[in-house]
Structure 1
Amino acid sequence: MIETYVDERDYKLLERDRYTFFVLKRIMGGECKLLLSDHERLILCFTGHPFPVWIWTADDAAEEEMEKAYQLAKENKLLTGEYHFNIKYSLAEYFIRRAAEEGLELKIITNMFAYDCLEPVRPDTESDGGIHCCEMKDLEELVDFMDRFHKELSIDQKDISGYREDAEEFIRSGNMYLWKDEQGHNVASCKYAPDGDMASINLVFTRPEFRRRHYAENLVYQVTMKAKEAGYVPMLYTDADYVASNACYEKIGYVLRGKLCTIG
């Protein structure tokens, strides 16, 4: 039976995929436009546009269960072409095949890796400048970083007022950081977001004109250390096809723990 709420049973289910579905666990506790679960084999969660629809299924999900997920998405008008889905590869293959049978085209947009970092490794190359914890005086510059970050990745894009609202929240958290070079320019961004015993490292972005100078590598290391020292297990998602950035994360101690994908 599908119900429109989650409870402790659902959070227990996600412990099986605590890395790949870390974000789902976090967003289930917030405001959701759509939240469906049978508390055993299937969870569907959607916060609203422009964010992806998250669907969790068990690793050994049978075809009937995948069809159930597909029909739930269809019944809730999520297969109109407007939405992306973050799901396991087995379910992605099923969705792509079923959509094709109905004259719809779905494809994998992003291959995602989930990493954690239990033992951070200091970068071989130190960058000039240093880490700076964002303050309200940095608000407009942070908004610019966020706008550039989302446009470059073409994901979860909002208008400037939406970014400003988020930036204010990030600054108040005390976990939002910039890297200042020796001339005082803000050249890279990174933050961590705690949930339970883990913390997601995200919003990693370097201004294009300052790239290839190891700023992001040094900033991510420093933010990772801050998350670890605060008692959290640092983790992050990456685009599996960005070989160079993944190699950078691995150099500072991140270990691959899981895989999933975005389809749309």
Structure 2
Amino acid sequence: MWQKFGVNDQVLRQNMFTVDEVQYNLIHRICESERSTCLKASNETMIFAQSEGHNAWLWISKELAAAPKNKLLQELLEFLKGTELPGISGDQATVEHFAEVYSEANGLQFVPYMMMESYVCSEVRKPVHVEGTLHLATRQHLETVAEFLAGFSEAAYGVKVEPSSQVSSAEAVIETGNLYLWLVDGQPVSMANIAHRSPRHARINAVYTPSAFRKKGYASAVVAELCSILITEGLAPMLYADMKNTDANKVYQNIGFVECGQVADIKFK
């Protein structure tokens, strides 16, 4: 049986989920929104969470045997009948199985979109001899942040956008007070954002350095400083990285991030 739940539900604090919590950390953020669809199996061995218009996330406890797993998945498909999902994210074997049965039931096709590695950092290793200092982004950096966001869109997703189209997003992220820039002689050369804080972790995203400033340690420096801030707060820094971006993965590993499980991102069409 499936039932709705909210962000403070016990299912997000019980051991079966917390052992996979880094890999599935985004579920915390999804469940904070009242417009999201958050469902759990009554025995708390499975979670389905989707924010409107985005991929759903599906977590299944490793302790769950095959027969009850398939039964719960069939019940979930019944619950979702008539619901259009853009895609599904989670452990590769789990989401590929779901994608097969969901696509068959809805006359769709599914395509792999991205493979990500989830990382957590419990002890940060700051790079040495990197020029520059960390600064909180302010409105005076609005134009630069818009340019960086446009660059990030192309680098991370292959989507070219004009910096002018990113001004409102830049304003919004600056106003959170969680976007940081690495400055060298007053010039922003790299950025990183604390996207979300959950009870035990904090997720870093939007790590970007323009091509002219790469290979100088700036991304390593800004991310390492954010990790230090978060560890001081008593939170474990975590992030997701596209596995195809070998340079980024190497940067995170050198700082002290360790792998916590891959996430497959599948799209329906």
Superposition TM-score tier, normalisation by shorter sequence: 0.7 to 0.9
Distance change in 2, residues 1:144/1:200 (3 Å): same
Q: Which residue of 2 aligns with 1:190?
A: 192
Aligned-pair Cα RMSD in Å:
2.9
Q: TM-score, normalised by structure 1?
A: 0.83
Q: Which residue of 2 aligns with 1:65?
A: 72
Query: Does the alignment pair 1:242 with 2:249?
Result: no
Deviation at 1:205, TM superposition (A): 0.8
Q: Secondary structure at the match of 2:19?
A: helix
Q: Which residue of 2 aligns with 1:262?
A: 265
Q: Secondary structure at the match of 2:2?
A: coil
Name structure 1 gaps, 5 residues minimum.
none
Query: Does the alignment pair 1:212 with 2:215?
Result: yes
Partners of 1:157 and 1:63 lie apart in 2 by 41
Distance change in 2, residues 1:149/1:252 (3 Å): same
Name structure 2 gaps, 5 residues minimum.
none
Query: Does the alignment pair 1:119 with 2:123?
Result: yes
Task: Report if the CA contact (8 A) 1:177-1:189 is conserved.
Answer: yes
1:173-223 CA-to-partner distances (Å, cap 9, x unmatched) read: 4321011233x3322110223222311111101112222222111111111
Q: Which residue of 2 aligns with 1:87?
A: 90
Deviation at 1:139, TM superposition (A): 2.4
What is the number of residues matched between the two proteins?
257
Q: Which residue of 2 aligns with 1:227?
A: 230
Letter in 1 for 2:191: S
User: Pick from 151, 170, 174: which aligns with 1:148?
Assistant: 151
Query: Does the alignment pair 1:176 with 2:183?
Result: no
Partners of 1:211 and 1:247 lie apart in 2 by 14
Distance change in 2, residues 1:111/1:135 (3 Å): same
Q: Which residue of 2 aligns with 1:37?
A: 40
Partners of 2:245 and 2:133 lie apart in 1 by 25
Distance change in 2, residues 1:99/1:174 (3 Å): closer
Distance change in 2, residues 1:259/1:231 (3 Å): same
Distance change in 2, residues 1:157/1:45 (3 Å): farther
Query: Does the alignment pair 1:2 with 2:2?
Result: yes
Q: Secondary structure at the match of 1:3?
A: strand
Q: Secondary structure at the match of 1:48?
A: coil
Distance change in 2, residues 1:53/1:160 (3 Å): farther
Distance change in 2, residues 1:100/1:43 (3 Å): closer
1:11-52 CA-to-partner distances (Å, cap 9, x unmatched) read: 224323210111111220223343333342332222222x32
Partners of 1:200 and 1:163 lie apart in 2 by 22
Deviation at 1:161, TM superposition (A): 9.3
Distance change in 2, residues 1:17/1:236 (3 Å): same
Distance change in 2, residues 1:30/1:92 (3 Å): same
Distance change in 2, residues 1:150/1:32 (3 Å): farther
Range with greater deviation from structure 2 (94-103 or 237-246): 94-103
Percent identical residues: 25
Q: TM-score, normalised by structure 2?
A: 0.82
Partners of 2:161 and 2:102 lie apart in 1 by 28
Q: Secondary structure at the match of 2:13?
A: helix
Partners of 2:4 and 2:192 lie apart in 1 by 34
Letter in 2 for 1:75: G
Letter in 1 for 2:144: E
Deviation at 1:245, TM superposition (A): 1.4
Range with greater deviation from structure 2 (208-217 or 56-65): 56-65
Q: Secondary structure at the match of 1:244?
A: helix
Q: Which residue of 2 aligns with 1:11?
A: 12
Query: Does the alignment pair 1:75 with 2:82?
Result: yes
Task: Report if the CA contact (8 A) 1:66-1:91 is conserved.
Answer: no
Deviation at 1:72, TM superposition (A): 4.2
1:41-97 CA-to-partner distances (Å, cap 9, x unmatched) read: 332222222x3222222223622333334444453122xxxx122122222221343
Partners of 1:155 and 1:230 lie apart in 2 by 35
Q: Secondary structure at the match of 2:57?
A: strand
